């Protein structure tokens, strides 16, 4: 099998996994709220697009009981190419950062302690 074929397979598989995950989430929310999957899917897609546009407007987002999103600026830095050892400049970059809320942090701590 050609490398190209392998890559396209992996990409197709990950898109499939993503859509399965998304379907699962829609079903769970629909069950919890007693809605149709169709209404829930429409709501989620509107919600996701609002989250995206607020983030891109550099507006922090707070989902109570879950966590907070912010945009942080990663400054310019010098890195080394491991292949040839040459140093190069990595330009500044805007990255979204997720800070979990206290509820999630506490539960994850309990999980780590019990491992």
Contact residues for its own copies, defined by CB under 8 A: 18-19, 21-22, 25, 28-29, 32-33, 42-52, 54-56, 60-69, 71, 91-98, 100-101, 103-104, 107-109, 111-112, 115
- Classified as helix, coil or strand, 79 is strand
As measured in angstroms, the least distance from the Cβ of 18 to its own copies is 5
Q: How far apart are CA 29 and CA 5, in angstroms?
A: 36
Q: Which is nearer to its own copies, 20 or 80 (CB)?
A: 20
Comparing CB distances to its own copies, the nearer of 12 and 104 is 104
Q: Which residues contact 62 (CB under 8 A, 6 or more apart)?
A: 68
CA distance 45 to 41: 6
């Amino acid at each position: 099998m050609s490398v190209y074929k392998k890559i396209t397979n992996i990409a197709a598989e990950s898109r499939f996994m993503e859509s399965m995950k998304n379907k699962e989430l829609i079903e769970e929310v629909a069950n919890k709220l007693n809605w149709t999957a169709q209404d829930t899917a429409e709501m989620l897609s509107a919600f996701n697009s609002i989250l995206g546009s607020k983030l891109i407007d550099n507006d922090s987002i707070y989902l109570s009981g879950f966590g907070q999103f912010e945009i942080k600026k990663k400054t310019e830095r010098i890195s080394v190419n491991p292949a040839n050892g040459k140093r190069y400049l990595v330009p500044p970059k805007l990255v979204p950062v997720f800070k979990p809320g206290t509820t999630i942090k506490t539960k994850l701590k309990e999980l780590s302690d019990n491992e």
